Amino acid sequence: QVQLVQSGAEVKKPGASVKVSCKASGYTFTSYYMHWVRQAPGQGLEWMGIINPSGGSTSYAQKLQGRVTMTRDTSTSTVYMELSSLRSEDTAVYYCARDPSGSYLLDVWGKGTTVTVSS
């Protein structure tokens, strides 16, 4: 079955970077786009960006431009999201989610990775 397995929880200090992974299985990795969405404690969903695993092209939310980088490794069917210059407001659960057609419709989600930014 289709699965997105994310890496474990992280605790980081302000100013540091974090890299979260999302390993896909059960489908052809390069045939589906992947998004990252985050959710701060008690808050709603915030779209962060999209990566095309086939060619590696990306598009990011304007507010995160310059701090977020999404990459992929086709040999392991894994996408990565790296966020730099972390601040307390980046404390959130980070989800990867599959997009069947590049339409920004998200049909399968990972379970989430908690990132805590604290001094």
Partner 1 sequence: EIVMTQSPATLSVSPGERATLSCRASQSVSSNLAWYQQKPGQAPRLLIYGASTRATGIPARFSGSGSGTEFTLTISSLQSEDFAVYYCQQYNNWPPGAFGQGTKVEIK
Beta strands 113-117 and 10-12 are parallel
Positions touching partner 1 (CB under 8 A) are: 35, 37, 44-47, 50, 59, 61-62, 95, 97, 103-112
Three-state DSSP string of the chain: CCEEEECCCEEECCCCCEEEEEEEECCCHHHCEEEEEEECCCCCCEEEEEECCCCCCEEECHHHCCCEEEEEECCCCEEEEEECCCCHHHCEEEEEEEECCCCCCCCEECCCEEEEECC
Smallest gap from residue 47 Cβ to partner 1 (A): 4
Identify which of residues 27 and 109 has a Cβ nearer to partner 1 in the complex.
109
Identify which of residues 61 and 68 has a Cβ nearer to partner 1 in the complex.
61
Identify which of residues 17 and 31 has a Cβ nearer to partner 1 in the complex.
31
Smallest gap from residue 116 Cβ to partner 1 (A): 16
Smallest gap from residue 107 Cβ to partner 1 (A): 5
Identify which of residues 31 and 59 has a Cβ nearer to partner 1 in the complex.
59
Smallest gap from residue 64 Cβ to partner 1 (A): 11
Which residue type sits at 78?
A: T
